[in-house]
Structure formats: structure tokens, C-alpha cells
Amino acid sequence: MSLAQPQCPSPSLRPDWSVVCLCAQWCATCRAYQDTFTTLQAQYPYPQWQWAWVDVEDEEEVVGDVEVQTFPTLLIAQGDVVRFMGPLVPQAAVLQRLLQSLQEATSPQSMGVDAQAQQLWQRLQPWLAQRAL
């Protein structure tokens, strides 16, 4: 199954939120989660939301030194700031609750995100824009 390509944000129309699933084609859990991810993508549409499915092996040059220990691992950013990066139980309700709690937070603080996650997000942004062309 193929996810819709990320939409190319113009400088004046940039998504408020980005949800990136770091996965691997060989991972049965990831393959099973892909339908759920696609369904949620339709519920949180562009231009406010940008969704991307990144195979960590196919896109090794973008992922870099980030070690994904558990699949699926999600990176959720608000603008330029990573708000969450970590493994997530592959259930739609779990991701929906996380997205809701991040949106409702009165302070846009990251949830245990380290510098490596922020660096990954900096590498992913131009990659996403290029893929959408």
C-alpha cells in the first residue's frame, strides 16, 4: 500500500503539525500499521497536518545515526520543534490521544525529546519538501 506523497508546503502555507512514522518494510507490525496511519492521515488533512511514512533502511541517508529500537516509532513536530519522538503502540486510538494531548498542551514543550530527534527533524524537512515535488 502506498501513502499519499507529502504535500509540498509553500513558504506561506506550511503545516502546523507533522507526523512522521519511522518504519521498515520488513517489519510486519509496520506493514499492518500502515493502513491505520493512512486512515488517520485522512482525518488530519493538509494544510494543517503533514504526514509521512519513512522507511529507515531505504532513507538511511536522511535518518542518519538515529537508532530505531522499536517499530513503529513516530516523530511529531509542531512547526520546527519536535514535540514527541518514540515508539508508539500501533493503534489509532493511541496516536489520536497523543495528538490531542500535544495540541491541548498549554506550553509547547517537547515530551522527552533529545537533540538527536531535533536534528533528524531538521534533515527530514527538506527531504519531505523534495519528495512532494
Query: What is the extent of the structural domain holding 79?
Result: 17-100+110-132
Q: Is residue 105 part of a domain?
A: no
Q: How far apart are CA 91 and CA 114, in angstroms?
A: 24
Please say whether the beta carbons of 36 and 90 come within 8 A: yes
* pLDDT tens-digit readout, 5-41: 444 444 446 789 999 999 999 999 999 999 999 999 9
pTM: 0.86
| pLDDT, block means (10 residues), the chain with 133 residues | 45 80 96 96 93 96 92 95 95 96 78 86 93 69
Q: Is residue 1 part of a domain?
A: no
Q: Is residue 8 part of a domain?
A: no
How many domains in the chain? Answer: 1
Q: How far apart are CA 50 and CA 8, in angstroms?
A: 9
> What are phi and psi for residue 61, nearest 5 degrees?
-65, -30
Per-residue buried b or exposed e for 31-41, using 16+ beta carbons within 10 Å of the residue's own CB: eebbebbeebb
Q: Is residue 10 part of a domain?
A: no
Site of grid cell 536534528 = 119
Give the CATH number, domain containing residue 22: 3.40.30.10
Q: Is residue 47 part of a domain?
A: yes
